[in-house]
């Protein structure tokens, strides 16, 4: 089988992908951006491995042999599932490979913001601590997680992991299901207004859909506590970036930690790029999923998906 890997570097050049060569004749491309590039590179492929490259009629119509599209990811926003199904093309993703790291990053952002770590680190490095005559400094107040309410949107694998950690840290956990069909019963499920009004920390772990797009907008931010911390490690468009900018500038919420943005990489037109106060906002470059261990698991997941398909037992199919 001819396997085309369109975005080999999406898992990092430091991670080996040589295992895929056991499964067929593999062509690796470091990155594939444009529709024309996709169309040309997949025209003879039996199997495509992609991440962000568009997988839809315009890019696949001249690729008659394609039988499988494997995502180097859990998300599959780049794929037209209906079109692939109409062609008999299976689409598979990799599940649960980054759960531990995304949950860890959620709390890294939340704790750095709530404990004002950047302020106090700079206080020491500026020489102010060395110049004072007392052993401690706590001029900017910070608070414990113990006793706070941690709100969650999206109770999948990552949301449940975050809920367990938050509970261990002494938080009361509540959650909201955008589709309203969650089977999770370990934590109270609340409506959106209750979630916004009661959450001291609100973390987003939902997929992007028409229901979740702009879930956090100006109206939602006005309903949150002024002391609230918002964490988005889901998808960028779940949060309206312009509305969040105004909410932070106007003090409608205390802080935000983002690993995803409406457009990536960040553009000069995104007003959040104007905010330089790291006690108010931390933005990381879509790396919450990308620990060394997680990227190794992602490659292994793609390998297993292709092997299972070749053995006639496809798994993790998202367009059955």
Q: How far is CA 208 from the centre of its chain?
A: 10
Write out the two tokens for 230: 């918002």
Helix (H) or strand (E) holding 74: none
Q: Out of 41, 105, 235, 316, pick the active-site residue.
A: 235
Say if strands 149-153 and 25-28 run parallel, antiparallel, or are unpaired: unpaired
CB 316 within 8 A of CB 94: yes
Residues 6+ apart with CB under 8 A from 108: none
- Is 235 annotated in the active site? yes
d(C-alpha 217, C-alpha 99), whole Å: 26
CB 230 within 8 A of CB 255: yes
d(C-alpha 240, C-alpha 159), whole Å: 21
- Is 119 annotated in the active site? no
- Is 286 annotated in the active site? yes
Q: Out of 144, 264, 293, 300, pick the active-site residue.
A: 264
Write out the two tokens for 84: 């692939």
Residues known to be catalytic: 235, 264, 286
């Amino acid at each position: 089988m001819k396997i085309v890997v369109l975005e080999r570097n999406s898992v990092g050049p430091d991670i080996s992908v040589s295992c895929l060569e056991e499964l067929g004749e593999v062509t690796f491309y470091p990155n594939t951006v444009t529709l024309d590039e996709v169309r040309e590179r997949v025209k003879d492929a039996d199997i495509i491995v992609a991440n962000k490259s568009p997988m839809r009629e315009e890019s696949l119509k001249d690729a008659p042999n394609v039988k499988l599209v494997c995502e180097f990811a859990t998300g599959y926003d780049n794929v037209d599932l209906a079109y692939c199904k109409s062609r008999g093309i299976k689409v598979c993703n990799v599940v649960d490979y980054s759960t531990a790291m995304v949950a860890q990053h959620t709390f890294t952002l939340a704790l750095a913001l709530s404990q004002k770590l950047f302020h106090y680190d700079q206080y020491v490095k500026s020489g102010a601590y060395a110049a004072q005559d007392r052993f401690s400094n706590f001029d900017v107040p910070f608070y414990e997680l113990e006793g706070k309410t941690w709100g969650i949107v999206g109770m999948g694998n990552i949301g449940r992991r975050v809920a367990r950690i938050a509970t261990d840290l002494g938080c009361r956990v509540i959650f909201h299901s955008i589709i309203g069909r969650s089977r999770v019963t370990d934590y109270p499920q609340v409506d959106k207004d209750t979630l916004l009004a009661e959450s001291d920390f609100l973390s987003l772990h939902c997929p992007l859909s028409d229901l979740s797009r702009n879930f956090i907008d100006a109206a939602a931010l006005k309903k949150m506590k002024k002391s609230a911390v918002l964490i988005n490690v889901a998808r960028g468009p779940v949060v309206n970036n312009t509305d969040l900018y105004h909410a932070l500038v106007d003090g409608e919420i205390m802080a935000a930690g983002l690993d995803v943005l409406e457009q990536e990489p960040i553009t000069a037109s995104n007003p959040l790029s104007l905010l330089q106060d790291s006690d108010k906002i931390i933005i990381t470059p879509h790396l919450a999923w990308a620990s060394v261990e997680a990227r190794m698991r992602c490659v292994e997941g793609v390998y297993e998906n292709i092997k299972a398909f070749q053995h006639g037992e496809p798994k993790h199919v998202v367009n059955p």
